[in-house]
């Protein structure tokens, strides 16, 4: 197995562990897994991981009842994952982006004094 294959397997493993933590509502654990990979990655992988960490931090802000922090982090995370193609790293990014947009709209309403957003955007795997 080449170094590139090992790196790819490690990235896939950490992305999946982070995804499972994220979907379980363990946002700090998700950030921890994604950050491990982020330190070693570059290009689109690094941008995706940074966006995922920002999104997880946004939902953590929701738990802490910090609407402005949630809205800001969602916008930053969305900007990072915007150009990453669906299926990258085996993730359903189109569905995720649609969920993020719903969360962003609800977060803006929350900032203005409305009700807090509902559940997180799903980050499902392809296949």
Say what the pLDDT of residue 51 is. Answer: 98
Say what the pLDDT of residue 10 is. Answer: 84
Query: Domain holding 50: CATH number?
Result: 1.10.3450.10
Say what the pLDDT of residue 4 is. Answer: 64
Say what the pLDDT of residue 37 is. Answer: 92
Give a yes or no: residue 117 inside a domain.
no
Give a yes or no: residue 125 inside a domain.
no
Residues of the chain below pLDDT 70: 1-5, 127
- Picking from 61, 57, 56, 71, the residue whose alpha carbon sits closest to that of residue 104 is 71
pTM passes above 0.75: yes
Give a yes or no: residue 106 inside a domain.
yes
Structural domain span for residue 72: 3-111
Give a yes or no: residue 33 inside a domain.
yes
Per the prediction, the chain carries an average pLDDT of 92
Say what the pLDDT of residue 1 is. Answer: 46
Q: What's the domain count of the chain?
A: 1
Give a yes or no: residue 118 inside a domain.
no
Say what the pLDDT of residue 3 is. Answer: 47
Say what the pLDDT of residue 63 is. Answer: 96
């Amino acid at each position: 197995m080449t170094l590139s294959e090992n790196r790819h397997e490690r990235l896939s493993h950490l992305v999946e562990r982070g995804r499972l933590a994220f979907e379980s509502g363990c946002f700090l654990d998700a950030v921890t897994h994604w950050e491990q990979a982020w330190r070693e990655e570059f290009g689109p992988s690094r941008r995706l991981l940074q966006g995922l960490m920002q999104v997880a931090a946004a939902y953590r802000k929701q738990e802490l009842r910090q609407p402005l922090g949630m809205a800001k982090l969602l916008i930053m995370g969305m900007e990072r994952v915007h150009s990453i193609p669906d299926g990258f790293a085996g993730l359903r990014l189109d569905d995720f982006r649609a969920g993020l947009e719903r969360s962003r709209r609800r977060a803006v309403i929350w900032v203005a004094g409305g009700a807090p957003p509902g559940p997180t955007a799903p980050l499902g795997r392809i296949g």
